[in-house]
Amino acid sequence: MNKIKSGFISIVGRPNVGKSTLLNKIIGHKISIVTNKAQTTRNNIRGILTEKEYQLIFVDTPGIHTSKNQIDRFMNSSAMRSMKEVDVVVFMAPADETIGKNDLFILNELSKKNDIKKILVISKADVVSKEKLFLKATEWNTYEKIFDEIIITSSTENINIDKLIETIVGFLPETGHYFYDEDSITDQPNRFAIREIIRESVLLKAGQEVPHSVAILVDELEETEDEINIVASIIVERKSQKGIIIGHQGKKISDIKYKSRKQIKELFEKDVNLELFVKVQENWRNSASLIKKMGYDKDKY
């Protein structure tokens, strides 16, 4: 049998601890959207890193948090399910924040899992002083018995990312094969990638004004050898939010369209025709049918 190691790695943690940034850094491509807002990731997004001796299939999960509505409950259950049937769990905790109740909840769940390898990653090491980093590491050492390894990292400064990869590979079984083609970097369909690019552009452009009451529906998608034609709807919960996204004289929606089109073009390396519409669907985050329609289908992830 070829000495190829391959397996599945779940990245978990509470919101805004750097899970998506780490995934994108490891894969070397933008797989998961990154903003400075908590709860940006809504699905378990697979990123795939393939080298000659190994293939790592990462699952970037939504941040585990106190649920307030149906979409929150979906995100939490999606994240918790990701810890089943994987080979390694990477639990991320930022160096610049205190250990909170969501961290303790995840730690409790991890302490029950004796059949998988667990790595604690103390992230964002570049944003605190060495003294504070030492204190944070000492604080987390209280829970060292839960973990097989503790690694301090920074995705932006590339601190210990190679060490993390090496540690993960060491924990994986020798399968002798890859699970995905060597050229694959994600298993998400094109429609999903397009939706996430548009949603990121909205989150970045709308600031704190429309944080998480936004969803994207790809209404039409036609792809030829040379171009992609897309019609998509930006769904908000209130009429006032629609006005915010459109902006004065349509400037904000034009910027969102420009940025989305540019990223889609870079991703697919084709010409892109993109039409965007803003629609109001009151209280969509509590509607199970609407959540499923928007791609957050618990049976898929």
From first to last of the 301 residues of the chain, give the pLDDT tens digit.
568 999 999 888 887 778 888 888 888 766 655 444 444 444 556 788 999 999 999 886 654 544 454 444 544 455 555 566 789 999 999 999 889 888 888 888 888 888 889 999 999 999 999 999 999 999 999 999 999 999 999 988 999 999 999 999 999 999 999 988 887 877 666 777 788 888 888 888 776 656 567 788 888 888 888 899 999 998 888 888 888 889 889 999 999 999 999 988 887 888 999 999 998 887 776 666 666 655 555 444 3
Answer yes or no: are the C-beta atoms of 197 and 267 closer than 8 Å: yes
Contact of 232 with 194, CB cutoff 8 Å? yes
CATH number for region 5-171: 3.40.50.300
Task: Write out pLDDT tens, residues 32-85.
Answer: 554 444 444 445 567 889 999 999 998 866 545 444 544 445 444 555 555 667
Tokens encoding 122: 């103390």
Q: Where are the domains of the chain?
A: 5-171, 190-294
- Whole-number pLDDT of residue 5: 95
Q: What is the pLDDT of residue 121?
A: 95
Res 67: pLDDT: 45
In this structure, is the dihedral angle defined by the CA atoms of residues 18, 22, 28 and 32, taken in order, positive or negative?
negative
pLDDT of residue 35: 43
* CATH number assigned to the domain covering 190-294: 3.30.300.20
Residue numbers in the known binding site are 13-20, 60-64, 123-126
Which residues participate in the annotated binding site for GTP? 13-20, 60-64, 123-126
Q: Quote the distance between the C-alpha of residue 103 and its chain's center.
A: 18
What is the distance between the alpha carbons of residues 107 and 210, in angstroms, rounded to a whole number? 32
Six-digit token string for 136: 């944070």
- Sequence-distant (6+) residues with CB within 8 A of 286 are 69, 70, 71
What is the pLDDT at residue 32? 57
Instruction: Please tell me the predicted confidence (pLDDT) of residue 88.
Output: 93
pLDDT at 134 (0 to 100): 94
Tally Cβ neighbours within 10 Å of residue 248: 7
